[in-house]
A and B are shown apart, each in its own frame.
Chain A
């Protein structure tokens, strides 16, 4: 066996005997496609391509990103403005999320028009619909993470919409936000959903989707049933693999060009108190955004519960509702007409939203101003997050007012080196010995005695007997008693 390794092809055989890769490659590459390879089939692989891009660039972003309200915006600005290639990689991730949506819709449309959900492919279709929701979940949760104005207010509106659902709405909103308001816990929740929970679900669902697809076999083009058996088959490799590959390269080029030519932006940090900000969601949520304008009060439940439930019910239940084996679009006019109707309505709503914003001059100028400030902020040089003694929780402003004698004691506390072992103001920290309760535990003369002649335990810890003159020592004691209670 091991003597094989030296011969031509020996290593391949050695590995195959242990791994069985020839069998795996055969499984992967020799899947028969009725009717041969087509450009129409590239969208599924395209989605996988872009998903891998999202994983790689997402890991890169996580390297410098900190998911906390205090740091999120600064760290994204750091990635964007300081780190080499940061703006480009963030651009790939940001445009990649839009591209995922585009490809998802194309993949859905192709599968629907080809009737490829028929013939024992119900579960395959259902898992696909579940993935559809997960991808929208990714874009919704990821949008908040930069914590700029746009992100903050889009998510504030997005989560508020949830609360309009009768009975459970407010509860769901509070669960999503981690409280009644957007804040610290909201960002943590969205981060965990975006980086851990949803990606794990996506990977599992993709595995199931591919498994079910392979199990059912490629559906091939929609032709008359009697002609189906006459179709010549072609295996997956090389024809379809090459088409998928070319499409993947085009996607990479498109993403790279977008990220370079129209660099992604970051706006000023979110200010929840800014009530003048006009929020607008990302383009793929605009139709939903516009839709909500038409429903008020009593009709609201129809607009945000009944109709969406019916639509998603029809989408998920499609293979169960449309059970005839006929796949050609001309043979199932009702479902195809319904599909195009919904598609046209969604596109119309999206455009209508943009149109209304352009017609309303107040909104238009406000949106333009917001965009301009975003552009300016993106161009401004990076400002690191300033932290220092005054920025900490224990600032001079909350220290008690000191008498002249106590102030003198405060200076002595520093100049005598007390703070070297007891921290600034005797507050300890970093393994230093904190001074507290001095005023309650000791009288003036006891404190003076301890400073003149420390206890053996104190000397062991490095405490030196004080050599200060009596008035200075009295000032130091006054300071200790006043501030270290």
Chain B
């Protein structure tokens, strides 16, 4: 029975022929190896393209202006809305988030999120009571956002701030609720 793929050259025993490259096996190796190299070269841009969202840094850290720093003279707290913009793939979502500008223990300007660490309600300031009082489940926080009482597991969350050119800037972050520690989740 003759092997149609690389039949043995005439006059050689099949044992000898198996060791000799035939015209057919030579081309198989040539075409196969060049295809391999070209295939790998072609795979590089495709893989980079597919993996782009994995290695792309998550859009850098954005700072949002709360207002002029000298606007917040006195004890506060001052309610402010920042427009938070998040880039999500080819979309950018802008939404208004409320923050409170307060004075921390060392009388420095600080910004706390208005999101209650309990179940996420927006926490208003009650001037008559002199505290932050969550309307949902009555968590209470002091003038600087520190927990006084109620079901919240921790104080109102302070946000990273800095002052640049006289402007108070904040980095808006979202934290895991119902836990006693601060964990950034977005």
For B, the interface residue count at a CB cutoff of 8 angstroms equals 43
Asked whether, in the complex, the Cβ of A388 is within 8 Å of the Cβ of B120, the reply is: no
Asked whether, in the complex, the Cβ of B45 is within 8 Å of the Cβ of A464, the reply is: no
Q: Please encode chain B, from 42 to 70, with 1 for each CB lying within 8 Å of some chain A CB and 0 for all others.
A: 10011011111000000000000000000
Asked whether, in the complex, the Cβ of B90 is within 8 Å of the Cβ of A82, the reply is: yes
Checking A63, A387, A418 against B92 with a beta-carbon cut-off of 8 angstroms, the contacting residue is A387
User: A193 interface residue, CB < 8 Å from B?
Assistant: no
User: B121 interface residue, CB < 8 Å from A?
Assistant: yes
User: A456 interface residue, CB < 8 Å from B?
Assistant: no
A241 contact set on B, CB distance < 8 A: 27, 31
In the bound complex, what is the Cα–Cα distance between A458 and B58 (angstroms)?
41
User: B12 interface residue, CB < 8 Å from A?
Assistant: no
Q: Please encode chain A, from 97 to 111, with 1 for each CB lying within 8 Å of some chain B CB and 0 for all others.
A: 000000000000000
Asked whether, in the complex, the Cβ of B124 is within 8 Å of the Cβ of A64, the reply is: no
The size bracket of the interface on A is 35 or more
Describe A's contact surface by its main secondary structure: helix
A73: shortest Cβ distance to chain B, in Å?
10
Q: Please encode chain B, from 83 to 106, with 1 for each CB lying within 8 Å of some chain A CB and 0 for all others.
A: 101010111111110100000000
Asked whether, in the complex, the Cβ of A238 is within 8 Å of the Cβ of B136, the reply is: no
In the bound complex, what is the Cα–Cα distance between A420 and B114 (angstroms)?
11
B83 contact set on A, CB distance < 8 A: 388
Which residue of chain B has the shortest Cβ distance to A462 in the bound complex?
B136
Asked whether, in the complex, the Cβ of B89 is within 8 Å of the Cβ of A464, the reply is: no
A71 contact set on B, CB distance < 8 A: 90
Checking A75, A385, A388, A416 against B124 with a beta-carbon cut-off of 8 angstroms, the contacting residue is A416
Describe B's contact surface by its main secondary structure: mixed
Asked whether, in the complex, the Cβ of B136 is within 8 Å of the Cβ of A64, the reply is: no
Q: Please encode chain A, from 80 to 120, with 1 for each CB lying within 8 Å of some chain B CB and 0 for all others.
A: 00111110110000000000000000000000000000000
Checking A22, A78, A416, A419 against B90 with a beta-carbon cut-off of 8 angstroms, the contacting residue is A78
User: A242 interface residue, CB < 8 Å from B?
Assistant: yes
Asked whether, in the complex, the Cβ of B48 is within 8 Å of the Cβ of A387, the reply is: no
A245 contact set on B, CB distance < 8 A: 31, 34-35
Checking A85, A89, A249, A417 against B135 with a beta-carbon cut-off of 8 angstroms, the contacting residue is A417
Which residue of chain A has the shortest Cβ distance to B81 in the bound complex?
A414
Checking B23, B87, B94, B135 against A388 with a beta-carbon cut-off of 8 angstroms, the contacting residue is B94
Checking A82, A85, A387 against B91 with a beta-carbon cut-off of 8 angstroms, the contacting residue is A387
Asked whether, in the complex, the Cβ of A385 is within 8 Å of the Cβ of B92, the reply is: yes
B26: shortest Cβ distance to chain A, in Å?
8
Q: Give the 7 A-B CB pairs with smallest separation, nearest first.
A: A388-B94, A238-B27, A85-B45, A78-B90, A417-B135, A384-B92, A420-B121
Having A60-B46, A384-B90, one finds 4 other A-B pairs with CB under 8 Å, namely: A84-B52, A85-B46, A417-B135, A420-B120
Q: A residues engaging B (CB < 8 A)?
A: 22, 25-26, 29-30, 56, 60, 63-64, 71, 74-75, 77-78, 82-86, 88-89, 237-238, 241-242, 245, 249, 252, 382, 384-389, 414-421, 462, 464
18 A-B interface contacts by CB (under 8 A): A26-B4, A30-B4, A56-B46, A64-B89, A89-B46, A89-B49, A237-B24, A238-B28, A241-B31, A245-B34, A386-B91, A387-B93, A388-B83, A388-B85, A388-B93, A421-B136, A464-B136, A464-B138
